[in-house]
Amino acid sequence: MRRLMMVALLAALPFSANAFQVKISTMYPDGTAAVKSLKEAGEKIKQETDGRVSLRIYAGGVMGDDAAVERRIRIGQLHGTLAQGGAFVKHNRDSQVLNLPLLFRDAEEVAHVRKTIDPVLREGFKENGWTMFGPVDGGFAYFMTKEPVATVADLRRQKVWMPANDSSSAEAAREFGVSPVALSISAVLTSLQTGVINAYAAPPIAALTLQWYSRVNYLTDVPMLYTYALLGLNDKHLQRISAEDRAIMERILTQTFADMDAKERNDNQNALEAVLSQGLDVVTPSEDERAEWQAYADKANKTLLEGGHVSSRIYEQVMGLLRDYRE
């Protein structure tokens, strides 16, 4: 009788033997808006699927850098990651098009291009076995340095951080004549403290969240490149979820990331003002100096195209959208 009662009790629980926990890693620290939103989405998914699907978030980089996370996803220890766009380039090279140096002049241009390009990029990932949510706006990356940097020549004298295992950034750095120091994101703050590096390019919201702003003195007023984040889930690991439950999960995550994107667009401007309020001095290049930055960026983008880092098809599509908008 007791055994029959236990069987009946287990059958009544909202969790079944087929319950699946989607394990997601991220470098975003626990408590940040991105992680909070993802956890809230997980609760909604769990509720609407009666516990058959839930999310488990490993925040703060506890699962390692992008390369380590990629290995864990490959063997099934993780099922996806919330990361900066560059972490996914190997699964869709054209996603790099939004990160090209000095491609955009302002946030309005980005918004115009993304209306058309976002679905194209998500479809490209899908063809390679990844379901993507986002992008989530990360704002423009600016150079933040210990010494003032107004020109490319000034930049070359700095010890500039570059993300490890980022071949496109390395190629662009060579065109600018910069010899960067490649490090994982987790090593940046310590390296700023010890003098291994004294300059980096990052969006203000990242500099605030990761406390990097506290180790530099200047911000160069040139929006070097647009940044964004994506949640990528490997389709191979999602096959254990029923079609109905997967549709629920994807609907909730799609709405969550649309809301995050809209909120971050507003927050990024506030983050820039917050960084400057911490005492950083703004370095404003002259028109001639800006033209020099643009010339080197154009050269870098040409090299990236010729090297196959981005297809000419997607690049021309983006440039066509920009020409239409600017006219």
* CATH assignment of the domain containing 195: 3.40.190.170
Q: Where are the beta strands (DSSP E) in 174-308?
A: 181-183, 199-202, 218-220, 225-234, 281-283
On the question of pLDDT at 22 being above 50, the answer is: yes
Per-residue confidence band for 8, with pLDDT thresholds at 50, 70 and 90: very low
For residue 7, pLDDT beyond 60: no
Q: Is the pLDDT of residue 248 over 90?
A: yes
261-271 average pLDDT score: 87
The DSSP 8-state label assigned to residue 211 in this structure reads T
- Does the pLDDT of residue 319 top 50, yes or no? yes
pLDDT per residue as tens digits for the range 275-308: 999 999 999 999 999 999 999 999 999 999 999 9
Candidates 264, 253, 263; CA nearest to 205 is 264
CA–CA separation, 177 vs 296, rounded Å? 9
| Token code pair at residue 156 | 């070359």
The confidence score (pLDDT) of residue 2 equals: 53
Residue 185 scores a pLDDT above 90: no
Please say if the pLDDT value at position 67 is more than 70: yes
pLDDT-derived band at 267 (thresholds 50, 70, 90) equals confident
Which of 226, 178, 217, 207 is CA-nearest to residue 274? 207
Q: How many domains does the structure of the chain reveal?
A: 1
**CA–CA separation, 107 and 110 (whole Å):** 5
Q: Return all residues near 114 (Cβ < 8 A) that are at least 6 apart.
A: 98, 135
| pLDDT at residue number 231 | 98
Average pLDDT across the chain, whole number: 92
C-alpha count within 13 angstroms, C-beta hemisphere, residue 23: 14
Residue 134: domain span: 2-326
HSE-CB of 59 using CA atoms within 13 angstroms: 14
Place 165 in a pLDDT band, splitting at 50, 70 and 90.
confident
pLDDT winner (highest mean) among 16-20, 63-67, 267-271:
63-67
The least confident of 141-145, 167-171, 198-202, 255-259 is 167-171
In this predicted structure, the answer to whether residue 9 has a pLDDT above a threshold of 50 is no
Q: Do 101 and 118 touch, CB atoms closer than 8 A? A: no
Which pLDDT score is estimated for 3?
52
